[in-house]
Structure formats: C-alpha cells, structure tokens
Amino acid sequence: MSEEFEFYTVAAPLEDAEGAEVETLLALCDLDCEEGIQTFVLCRLGRRLVGCAGLQGNIVKCVATAPDLRGESLSLKLMSEVVHLALERGHTHLFLYTSPRNVSFFEGCGFYELVEVPGYVSLMENTPIGIKGYAKRLIPLRQPGEKIGCIVMNANPFTYGHQYLVKLAAEACDWLHVFVVSEDASLISYRDRFALVQAGIAGIPRLTLHHGSEYMISRATFPDYFFKEKGVVGDCCTAIDLLLFRNYIAPALGVTHRFVGTEPFCPTTRKYNDDMKYWLQAAPSSAPSIHVIEVPRTASSGVPISASEVRRLLGRGDFSKIGALVPPGTLGLLNDKYATNFAALVP
C-alpha cells in the first residue's frame, strides 16, 4: 500500500464536515455518535476517514474502522493511539463499551470483559484484576447474618429522607452496607456528600459506610445517571451498573437485600428503581438474586422529601423551607458553602 495511515486528535465537538464523516463511519459499523466524548482519535488514508475512537475521561467509546480495511491491523493501531492519549492525560485505568461480538478483538488489545447485557453491549476494562481486586478488598468487611442489606446513595445533598431510609433498613437487617456515589459530577462535592452522610448516620448500629468506586453508578458504569435532562435512561446503562453490583460487589459482602426509596419526581431514578427489580432479582445470572425493597419516602408537610427539591429551594435561596428537609449538618454546609449564586445552582 503506497499511502500510510495518518493518526491525529481532534477536540470535540467536531467541525460539521468532519463530524459528518465520523457519523457516516460509525453508521457503517452499526454505531451512533455518543454524547460526552471530549476528544477523538481519527485516522485517514489519504483524504479518506478510515478510523475513529472517542475518549471521555477514562472511557473509550465509538471505536470504528472502515469495514474494507479490517485486515490491515488498523484497529490495533487505532486502539494503541487512543490508549496512549489516555495515558498522556493521566488515565491509566480505562473502560470500554463495545458490542459483545467485538469482545474477542478488544481482548487482544489488552481489555477484559466485566459484564455483558446479552446481545446488546459489553463493558470492558484494561486490567485483569480491576474489579476482582476491588471485590477482594471488600471481603474483609463482610459481616455475618442471614439478611445483609445495602444502600447506594448519591446524597446530593443528604436529607432526612436518606436518614429515614438508612434507619429503616438497618433495623430490618443483620447488617447494612451504605455506599456513597464517588463520582464528582453533582452540585455537592463528593468530599462534602460523604461527610454529610457520615454525620447523618452516626450512631446507627450494625452499619458500615463505604466510599464509592468506579464500579458503582459512575460515568463509566452508568453514564446517563449524570445527564438526567435526557429523560429516561437506556436499559443497557442501567443493566451494566446493576450486573456489576450483582456479580461482584454483592457476593463479596454477602448482600441479600438492596433498599431504595420510592421516586416520585425524577424519571431517571424511578426507572433505575424499576430496572433494579429485574436485573437484581429476576434476570438469569450465575450470581444469587438480590431482593429489592422499595421504601415509601418520608414526607414533610405531606410532600415526599427529595434531594432534588432541596436543590431547587437552594437555587431560590429558600433556607427556611430547606431546614425542614435536611439535618442541621446539611443545612449548615449549604448555608456556609453553597449559598451564593443561587440561580447558577438550580439543577
């Protein structure tokens, strides 16, 4: 071949003409151009676009090569380029979304399958010990008992509703594990959210509070959770997150029940609760099923307490109403640290 592959990077969003070329190439590979990509690695053969790969933080997505050049080792070179770009940006632990039919190829590029939504999508990572190592670190925190509960909360911010759910679940279980979502994509920083949860559940017996991880409601495992304005999340995103929990995290801790509050306001969270009942309880799996307990939310003046309502009130600067929805620690933090530029804080 007289011409050589030319690789280069382009920041997203792409120019109209180049963006159209990428969309055409992705369509040839039965892929859509996904939102959130920060940088594309593109490859040309002469003037023709023959390869593309997107990078969003440490997530590789939208990898495609021209169907007629797949025997030219183009895909391996493309993956090498996008991995090198990620490393340059400080991302050593990478995730990759792909079709299950492409898993064997990406295994040859140093990626390992975590879970598959049968026939739809697989999530992979670039280490053979990532999630297994995480699960192994959880095992020493396992507690004896027949009914071991778990709550995963974002707590953006921590409310009396969260506190009520934790107290009720702890009373119903031999032991309760509480995880705080660690992704820093919320109004309240992860550091502050964790501290508020820690203070709000202090003194509740038979409970372990855990830091979150990339394997639990993160941009890698459940990206649409952080883009709620898009409406109801795709089934595949939900399934990936819940299968990781069922297959790895729950067995490590012996979790038998997962507790959630009912969701009267947010469609994304409500859909997540509904899907939880399928992927944790009913879906075929080699891992044991997990009972999902949906607890009616506690209310203030007849209105269910929610973090989204607190954020709405914060945007208006209405601290008199916020005080009825959150513990004193949350109220103090919001007043001291998040009480400026109200309009900008409205979710």
CATH number for the domain harbouring residue 316: 3.40.50.620
Rg (CA), the chain: 22
Q: Among 129, 163, 189, give the residue marking a domain's end.
A: 129
227 pLDDT exceeds 50?
no
Tell me how far CA of residue 154 lies from CA of 35, 112, 231, 284, 331, in angstroms. Answer: 23, 28, 18, 28, 17
Residues 89 and 207 in one domain: no
Residues 165 and 117 in one domain: no
Q: Among 100, 129, 158, give the residue marking a domain's end.
A: 129
Residues 171 and 125 in one domain: no
How many helices (H) and strands (E) are present in the chain, helices listed first? 13, 14
Q: Among 129, 159, 180, give the residue marking a domain's end.
A: 129
Contacts of 10 (CB under 8 A, 6+ apart): 18, 39, 40, 42
What value does the mean pLDDT of the chain take? 89
Residues 68 and 108 in one domain: yes
Instruction: Name the more confident of 175 and 120.
Output: 175
168 neighbors 162 (Cβ within 8 angstroms): no
Work out the number of other CB atoms within 10 angstroms of the CB of residue 198. Answer: 14
Residues 194 and 58 in one domain: no
pLDDT number for residue 119: 80
User: Which residue range is the domain that position 30 belongs to?
Assistant: 5-129
pLDDT number for residue 225: 43
> Domain for residue 39, yes or no?
yes
Work out the number of other CB atoms within 10 angstroms of the CB of residue 258. Answer: 24
Residues 315 and 216 in one domain: yes
2 pLDDT exceeds 70?
no
Contacts of 183 (CB under 8 A, 6+ apart): 190, 212, 217, 218, 219, 226
Residues 213 and 306 in one domain: yes
pLDDT number for residue 91: 96
> Domain for residue 134, yes or no?
no
Residues 219 and 319 in one domain: yes
> Domain for residue 116, yes or no?
yes
Residues 125 and 143 in one domain: no
Sorting pLDDT into bands at 50, 70 and 90, what band is 20?
A: very high
Sorting pLDDT into bands at 50, 70 and 90, what band is 222?
A: low
